[in-house]
């Protein structure tokens, strides 16, 4: 668990969706990447925010900046939050578009929570299928 006062919130099947932590008299939901998923709110609303967000978005493409002359399209392959004295990490790999014949690439290991250089794609990002 990332912080002692963070309470894990799981789906019915036990999959971790994030955590809920105190914020004054309210509660804040945090997703598995360490991003706020709600503003300070009531406990049930924080749970609802995590339930609504889910984790399917982890399978979406992401963009990694700062490793090449243009942003790289990547996929998340591992998310390990901070635990007690061990720092967490987020591991991504270059998106291979499902091509199993393509050689594997070295993964990029990033700190947890999510750094700003790992972000969702934007409309103005370069097409990753062209050089």
For the chain, domain boundaries: 7-55, 60-119
Mean pLDDT per 10-residue run, the chain (131 residues)? 89 96 97 97 98 95 93 94 88 86 88 96 82 56
Predicted pLDDT of residue 83? 84
Neighbours of 18 (CB within 10 A): 30
For residue 81, give Cα distances in angstroms to 92, 102, 104: 14, 30, 25
For residues 64 and 70, give the distance between their C-alpha atoms in angstroms, rounded to a whole number. Answer: 9
Residue 27: the pLDDT is: 98
First-to-last CA distance in the chain? 41
Continuous segment of H or E residues that includes residue 43: helix 43-53
Question: pLDDT value at position 125?
Answer: 87
Q: What pLDDT sits at residue 96?
A: 85
Strand positions, DSSP E, 12-94? 16-23, 26-31, 62-64, 72-80, 89-94
What pLDDT does residue 52 have? 97
pLDDT at 128: 72
CA–CA separation, 21 vs 16, rounded Å?
15
| Res 100: pLDDT | 76
Q: What is the pLDDT, as a whole number, of residue 131?
A: 56
pLDDT at 16: 96
């Amino acid at each position: 668990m990332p912080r002692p006062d963070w309470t894990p919130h799981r789906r019915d099947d036990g999959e971790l969706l994030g955590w809920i932590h105190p914020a004054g008299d309210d509660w804040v939901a945090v997703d598995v990447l360490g991003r706020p998923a709600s503003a300070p709110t009531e406990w049930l609303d924080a749970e609802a925010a995590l339930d609504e967000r889910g984790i399917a978005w982890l399978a979406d493409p992401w963009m990694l900046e700062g490793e090449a002359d243009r942003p790289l399209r990547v996929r998340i392959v591992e998310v390990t939050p901070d635990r007690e004295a061990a720092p967490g990490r987020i591991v991504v790999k270059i998106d291979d578009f499902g091509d199993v014949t393509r050689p594997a690439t070295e993964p990029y290991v990033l700190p947890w929570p999510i750094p700003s250089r790992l972000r969702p794609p934007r409309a103005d990002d370069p097409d990753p299928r062209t050089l």
